[in-house]
Amino acid sequence: MNLHELTRPIAITPGDPCGIGPEIIARAWSTTPELTRGCFVAGDVGLMRRAMALVGQAVRYPVCEIETAEQALHVPPRCLPVLQVVSEAPEIPWGQVDGHAGQLAGEAVLWATRAALRGEVAALVTAPLHKEALHAAGAPYDQYPGHTELLQAEAARHAGVTLAQMPVRMMLANDELRTVLVSIHVSMREALDAITVDRVLETLRITHTALTALLGRKPRIAVAGVNPHAGEGGLFGREEIEVVKPAIWQACQEGLDVHGPYAPDTVFMRARQKPGIQREFDVVVAMYHDQGLIPVKYLGVEQGVNVTLGLPLIRTSPDHGTAMDVAGQGVADASSMVQAIRMARQLLAGAVTGMA
Same domain, 13 and 157: yes
pTM value? 0.89
Residues 10 and 154 occupy one common structural domain = yes
Q: What CA dihedral angle connects 69, 74, 78 and 79, to 10 degrees?
A: -40
Whole-angstrom distance, CA of residue 270 vs CA of residue 267 = 5
Taking only the tens of pLDDT, the chain with its 356 residues reads 444 467 899 999 999 999 999 999 999 999 999 999 999 999 999 999 999 999 876 677 899 999 999 999 999 888 999 999 999 988 999 999 999 999 999 999 999 999 999 999 999 999 999 999 999 999 898 888 888 889 999 999 999 999 999 999 999 998 899 999 999 888 899 999 999 999 999 999 999 999 998 888 999 999 999 999 988 888 888 999 999 999 999 999 999 999 999 999 999 999 998 888 889 999 999 999 999 989 988 887 667 899 999 999 999 999 889 999 999 999 999 999 999 999 999 888 875 444 32
Query: Are 5 and 101 within one domain?
Result: yes
Instruction: Say how far residue 293 (Cα) sits from the centre of its chain.
Output: 13
Q: Are 221 and 256 in contact (CB under 8 A)?
A: yes
- CB count within 10 Å of CB 143 equals 12
Q: Are residues 51 and 78 in the same domain?
A: yes
What interhelical angle do 99-117 and 147-159 show, nearest 10?
40
The count of domains in the chain is: 2
Same domain? For 253 and 356 the reply is: no
The distance of Cα 338 from the centroid of its chain, to the nearest Å, equals 13
Q: Please tell me the distance from the alpha carbon of residue 40 to that of residue 9, in angstroms, as a whole number.
A: 7
Q: In terms of domains, do 154 and 278 share one?
A: no
Picking from 288, 310, 332, the residue at the C-terminal end of a domain is 310
151 and 3 in a single domain? The answer is: yes
Judge if 11 and 135 occupy the same domain: yes
Closest CA to 171 of 68, 271, 286: 286
Q: Which domain holds residue 105?
A: 1-164+311-356
If asked whether residues 331 and 188 sit together in one domain, one would say: no
DSSP 55-115: -TTSPPPPEEEESSGGGGGTSPSS-EEEEE-SSPPP-PPTT---HHHHHHHHHHHHHHHHH
Q: Are 196 and 324 part of one and the same domain?
A: no
Q: Evaluate whether 94 touches 310 at the Cβ level (below 8 Å).
A: no
Region of 38 (left: φ > 0; alpha: ψ -120 to 50; beta: rest) is left
Same domain, 263 and 337: no
- Distance, in Å, from the CA atom of 238 to the CA atom of 196, rounded to the nearest integer, reads 12
CA angle 155, 160, 162 (to 5 degrees): 75
pLDDT (0 to 100) of residue 93: 95
139 and 246 belong to one structural domain: no
DSSP 127: P
What does DSSP assign to residue 273? -
CATH number, domain containing residue 222: 3.40.718.10
